[in-house]
């Protein structure tokens, strides 16, 4: 009997000690992890101020490739939310929601998952280095335990999860940013716009990467298109377009296009209807002699474009969403503006493909008397949401 009594007393003492220790443990949990990146601050801020790329950088996908993600609320900033479900106990079910964003500085998120505590939240702060070449991303997790003594004890393991998850997220974000064009678009106005389809006549061309060579090739292509337009009684329905095919180390491959006012016309007693490109497998095959097939007006070329005459082709141009930016200055800066659009698409989670109708294009919207070096352009990058 005395033995039983001693055991009971021991248990009471242990329980009292556990309670006393629990009372003395912190009622709040905090952990911070840091990573240093070489990306511009705006790129980092935009990448983390949305969950559109969360499935790519989240540590959860590595723990459970079958994790299901669902985006809710706003696309960017306050109100943006991602929810997930997983059968993996370490991932579980939960959601993050952006509750506050300070431009290029700080992002706050509410955390709703199985981690211990109440009022759980992330705080991400961006700290540019003194030389401006690198940036430290500080990612903190905070949780309140109150008088929940079990939660206070669980808080002793905060350096397992969520600390490990935060570190993995930071590493994944840093790796993803390293694959983006390292260009700063913060001073370039960019918007997402709806683009309507329109019929265009175009000529594919190529030139050395110099302003004079590109201008000469452009003038030659425009002259050929305008000659066809005159014969077909077509009128320009928009500015001249430069469609980028390949910006090489030495050469620039591109097409010059002019929108026209009609999708149907007659040329040399033959009727034409401009529609979407329709490539056929046989169009890409050469004959037995290895020579490209002879194309006549009305045929389709290897890209599915309608052959009009000479080097002139026709197609209904792109319809859908596009990132758009306006620029005034020398056309020598256009490649940088295209690169900025590409970086913006990456950080905002817009998919793009530089092929077919989804290639970059620029529109020369300059006034006829605009002096050299002060021309105005609109730059487009078709994207998918």
Residue ranges of alpha helices (H) inside 179-252 are: 211-232
Structure confidence by residue, pLDDT tens digits, 255-307: 999 999 999 999 999 999 999 998 765 544 445 555 667 889 999 999 999 99
Alpha-carbon distance 270 to 264, whole Å?
Answer: 11
Whole-angstrom Cα distance, residue 60 to residue 51?
Answer: 13
pLDDT (0 to 100) of residue 285: 47
Under CATH, which number does the domain 26-178 receive? Answer: 3.30.530.20
DSSP secondary structure letters along 7-70: HHHHHHHHHHHHHHHHHHS-SEEEEEEEEEE-S-HHHHHHHHSBSTTHHHH-HHHHH-TT-EEE
Domain at 192-280+298-382: CATH code = 3.20.80.10
pLDDT in tens, 348-372: 999 999 888 999 999 999 988 888 8
- Cα separation, 360 vs 255, in Å, equals 11
Domain spans of the chain? 26-178, 192-280+298-382
Please give the pLDDT value at position 4. Answer: 64
> Looking at the whole model, is its pTM more than 0.85?
yes
């Amino acid at each position: 009997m005395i033995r039983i009594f001693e055991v009971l007393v021991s248990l009471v003492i242990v329980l009292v000690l556990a309670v006393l220790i629990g009372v003395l443990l912190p009622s709040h949990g905090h952990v911070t992890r840091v990573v240093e990146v070489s990306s511009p601050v705006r790129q980092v801020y935009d990448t983390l101020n949305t969950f559109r790329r969360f499935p790519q950088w989240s540590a959860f996908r590595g723990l459970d490739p079958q994790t299901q993600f669902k985006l809710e609320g706003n696309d960017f900033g306050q109100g943006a939310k991602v929810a997930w479900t997983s059968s993996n106990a370490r991932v579980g079910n939960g959601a993050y929601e952006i509750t506050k964003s300070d431009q290029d500085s700080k992002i706050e998120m509410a955390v709703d998952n199985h981690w211990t505590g109440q009022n759980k939240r992330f705080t991400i702060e961006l700290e540019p280095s003194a030389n401006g070449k690198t940036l430290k991303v500080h990612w903190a997790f905070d949780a309140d335990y109150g008088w929940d003594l079990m939660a206070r004890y669980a808080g002793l393991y905060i350096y397992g999860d969520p600390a490990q998850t935060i570190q993995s997220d930071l590493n994944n974000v840093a790796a993803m940013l390293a694959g983006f064009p390292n260009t700063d678009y913060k001073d370039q106005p960019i918007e997402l716009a709806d683009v309507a389809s329109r019929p265009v006549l175009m000529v594919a061309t190529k030139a050395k990467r110099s302003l004079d060579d590109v201008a000469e090739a452009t003038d030659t292509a425009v002259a050929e298109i305008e000659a066809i337009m005159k014969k077909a009684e077509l009128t320009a329905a928009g500015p001249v377009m430069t469609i980028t095919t390949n910006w090489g180390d030495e050469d620039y491959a591109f097409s010059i296009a002019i929108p026209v006012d009609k999708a149907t016309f007659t040329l040399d007693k033959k009727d034409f209807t401009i529609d979407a490109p329709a490539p056929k497998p046989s169009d890409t095959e050469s004959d037995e002699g290895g020579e490209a097939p002879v194309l006549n007006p009305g045929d389709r070329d290897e890209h599915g474009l309608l052959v009009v005459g000479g080097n002139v082709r026709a197609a209904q141009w792109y319809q859908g969403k596009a990132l758009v930016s306006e620029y005034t200055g020398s056309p020598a800066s256009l490649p940088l503006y295209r690169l900025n659009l590409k970086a913006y698409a990456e950080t905002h989670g817009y998919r793009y493909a530089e092929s077919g109708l989804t290639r970059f294009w620029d529109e020369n919207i300059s006034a006829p008397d605009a002096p050299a070096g002060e021309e105005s352009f609109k730059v487009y990058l078709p994207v998918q949401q």
